[in-house]
Amino acid sequence: MKTITLAFTGASGLPYGMRLLETLLHSGSRVHLVYTQAAQIVAKQELDFTLPNRPRDAEQLFAERYGTFSGALKVFGIQDWYAPMASGSNPGDAMVVCPCTTGMLGKIAGGISDDLIARAADVMLKEKRTLILAPREMLFSAIHLENMLKLAHAGAVIMPPNPGFYHHPQSVQDIVDFVVARILDHLGVANTLLPRWGET
């Protein structure tokens, strides 16, 4: 069972993160979830969904929302320094920050590990594990682009959620699934969310 750290931050794009969480759990992955207070605000705004303050409440809510799944979910607080992904001795297999604010991108690029998300990302880079960042912003400033380049040089995968349209999406869900499928591909998690290029 793969262990994936998944982080939600306050950028627009929570539908991507929520769909990724659902798909990972149903794929049999172990997910360690952490989110910011700003992500809670965005979840309410974009999905009319309340992300609980207490990790245990969040675990119960997701169990009810997604039903029976073959994976495992553990939710951690943003300042939980005893979480496994806070140490290189137990980093997990990969980490995804989706959506990723440009502020979080800058913190990770600068090595500022003052919360669990930034620290876990720092651990992934130093341990040379897969770190995927999905920055959702429009436009990108020179500072944002320089931070992305710095992180790419450090080994991170920069994957802005830019959907393609060659699969002829018929709904917002189809557009979300395009991005989520690409993230799952980079995590090495099998999925059938959309037809592959050349298969249609």
- How much is the pLDDT for 167? 87
Angle at 166 between CA 164 and CA 171, to 5 degrees: 70
Domain boundaries, the chain: 3-187
Buried b (16+ CB within 10 A) or exposed e, 74-100: bbbbbeeeebbbbeeeebbbbbbbbbb
Pairing outcome for strands 3-8 and 72-76: unpaired
Question: What is the radius of gyration, based on Cα positions, of the chain?
Answer: 16
pLDDT greater than 80 at residue 200: no
Q: What is the mean pLDDT of residues 88-110?
A: 97
- pLDDT-based confidence at residue 196 (cuts at 50, 70, 90): confident
Q: What is the mean pLDDT of residues 8-34?
A: 97
**26-85 pLDDT tens trace:** 999 999 999 999 999 999 999 999 999 999 999 999 999 999 899 999 999 999 999 999
Cβ atoms of 116 and 77 within 8 Å: the answer is: yes
pLDDT greater than 90 at residue 198: no
- Please tell me what DSSP assigns to residue 32: E
Q: Between 149 and 200, where is the model more confident?
A: 149
**137-189 pLDDT tens trace:** 999 999 999 999 999 999 999 999 999 998 899 999 999 999 999 999 999 99
pLDDT greater than 90 at residue 194: no
Angle at 25 between CA 11 and CA 86, to 5 degrees: 60
Cβ atoms of 14 and 22 within 8 Å: the answer is: no
* CATH class, range 3-187: alpha beta
